[in-house]
Structure 1
Amino acid sequence: MAEHTQKIHFIGIGGIGMSAIAGICVSNGDKVSGSDLRLSNLTQQLAKSGALIHEGHDASNIAKDTDIVVKSTCIRNDNPEIIQAVKLGINVVSRGQMLRSIIDKASFSVGITGTHGKTTTTGLISHVLAYCEKDPTVLIGGEVDSFNGNFKLGHSGMVVAEIDESDGYFRNIKVCSGIVTNIEREHIENYGSMDNLVEAYKEFVNRIDECGFCVYNGEDKILDGIIKKSLCKSISFGIDKKFDICAHNYTYAKNIEFDLEAYGSVLGRVKSSLIGRYNLMNILAVVAVGLEIKLDFVQIAEGIASFKGVKRRFDTVGEFDGIKIIEDYAHHPTEINAVITAAKNYSLGRVVSVFQPHRYSRTKDLMKELTNCFYSADILILTDIYSADEEKKKDINARSIYETLDKTRFEQALFLEKEDIPELISGIVKKDDIILVLGAGDIKDISLEIVREIRNSRID
Structure 2
Amino acid sequence: MSKILVIGAGNAGRPAALLLHYLGNEVLVSEIKKFEELPPKAKKKIKKMKKMGIKFEFGHHNPKSLDWAEKVFISPSIPTNSEIVKIVKKSGLEIITPEEIGKILGKFINMPMVGVAGTDGKTTTTNMIYYLLKDKYSTLVFSSLQDSLVIEGLAEIVVNQDYKDKEFAVFELPHGTIRMVKGLELSVGVLTNLTPDHLDEFDGYWDYVKRNFLVKDLVHKNGLLVFNSDDPIIYKLKNSVNKEIVFYGLGKPQKIKYKSKVYSFDGKKPKPDVTAKDIVLEGLDGSKFKAVVNEIPTVICENCGELLCKCGEFKRRYVGPFEKNIKLQIPGIVNIENSLATITVGLALGLKMKYIKEKLENFKGIKGRFEKIGEIDGVKIYMDAAHNPESMEKVIGNLDVKGRLIISLDNPDTLTTRDKFRIGRILSKKADILICSAKNETTGEIDWNAAEEVARGAKECKTIITSNVRDSILKAIELSKKGDLILHIGPGVVNAYDNVKGDILDAIKK
Q: TM-score, normalized by length of structure 1? A: 0.73
Q: Does 1:272 align with 2:282?
A: no
Secondary structure (helix, strand or coil) at the match of 1:211 reads strand
Give per-residue Cα distances to partners, 1:296-320, cap 9 Å, x unaligned.
Answer: 1111122222222221111112222
Q: CA deviation at 1:112?
A: 0.5
Q: CA deviation at 1:118?
A: 0.4
Secondary structure (helix, strand or coil) at the match of 1:311 reads coil
Cα distance in 1, alignment partners of residues 235 and 205 from structure 2 = 16
Cα distance in 2, alignment partners of residues 335 and 435 from structure 1 = 18
Give per-residue Cα distances to partners, 1:162-197, cap 9 Å, x unaligned.
Answer: 111147626835423200000111122222112222
Is the alpha carbon distance of 1:304 and 1:166 closer, same or farther for their aligned partners in structure 2, counting shifts above 3 Å?
Answer: same
1:132 to 136, 140, 147: 136
Q: Does 1:260 align with 2:260?
A: no
Secondary structure (helix, strand or coil) at the match of 1:359 reads coil
Give per-residue Cα distances to partners, 1:20-71, cap 9 Å, x unaligned.
Answer: 999999xxxxxxxx9997878xx89xx9xx99699xx878xxxxxxx99998
User: Is the contact made by 1:138 and 1:153 (CA closer than 8 Å) also made in structure 2?
Assistant: no
Is the alpha carbon distance of 1:38 and 1:193 closer, same or farther for their aligned partners in structure 2, counting shifts above 3 Å?
Answer: closer
Number of aligned residues:
423
The gaps in structure 2 that reach 5 residues or longer are 1-5, 21-28, 30-34, 59-70, 83-92, 148-152, 252-269, 296-320
Q: CA deviation at 1:90?
A: 13
Q: CA deviation at 1:338?
A: 1.6
User: Is the contact made by 1:208 and 1:214 (CA closer than 8 Å) also made in structure 2?
Assistant: yes
Is the alpha carbon distance of 1:110 and 1:449 closer, same or farther for their aligned partners in structure 2, counting shifts above 3 Å?
Answer: closer
Partner of 2:89: none
Is the alpha carbon distance of 1:303 and 1:189 closer, same or farther for their aligned partners in structure 2, counting shifts above 3 Å?
Answer: same
User: Is the contact made by 2:440 and 2:446 (CA closer than 8 Å) also made in structure 1?
Assistant: no
Q: CA deviation at 1:276?
A: 0.7
Q: TM-score, normalized by length of structure 2? A: 0.67
Is the alpha carbon distance of 1:141 and 1:18 closer, same or farther for their aligned partners in structure 2, counting shifts above 3 Å?
Answer: farther
Q: Does 1:226 align with 2:237?
A: yes
Q: Does 1:402 align with 2:402?
A: no
Cα distance in 1, alignment partners of residues 243 and 169 from structure 2 = 19
Cα distance in 1, alignment partners of residues 52 and 227 from structure 2 = 39
Q: Does 1:354 align with 2:408?
A: yes
Partner of 1:369: 422
User: Is the contact made by 2:229 and 2:247 (CA closer than 8 Å) also made in structure 1?
Assistant: yes
Q: Does 1:115 align with 2:169?
A: no
1:292 to 335, 339, 348: 348
CA RMSD of aligned residues (A): 4.9
Q: Does 1:244 align with 2:273?
A: yes
2:175 to 160, 165, 173: 165
Secondary structure (helix, strand or coil) at the match of 1:155 reads coil
Q: CA deviation at 1:432?
A: 2.5
Q: How does 1:299-448 map to 2 (within 5 A)?
A: 299-342=355-398, 344-345=399-400, 347-355=401-409, 356-359=411-414, 361-363=416-418, 366-374=419-427, 375-384=429-438, 386=440, 388-389=442-443, 397-406=450-459, 409-410=460-461, 412-418=462-468, 420-441=471-492, 445-448=499-502
Percent of aligned pairs with the same amino acid? 21
User: Is the contact made by 1:119 and 1:162 (CA closer than 8 Å) also made in structure 2?
Assistant: yes
Q: CA deviation at 1:160?
A: 1.3
Give per-residue Cα distances to partners, 1:84-132, cap 9 Å, x unaligned.
Answer: xxxxx999887x9756633454232211100000000001101101133
The gaps in structure 1 that reach 5 residues or longer are 1-8, 26-33, 60-66, 79-88
User: Is the contact made by 1:73 and 1:167 (CA closer than 8 Å) also made in structure 2?
Assistant: no
Q: CA deviation at 1:19?
A: 11
The structure whose Rg is larger is: 2
Q: CA deviation at 1:225?
A: 2.3
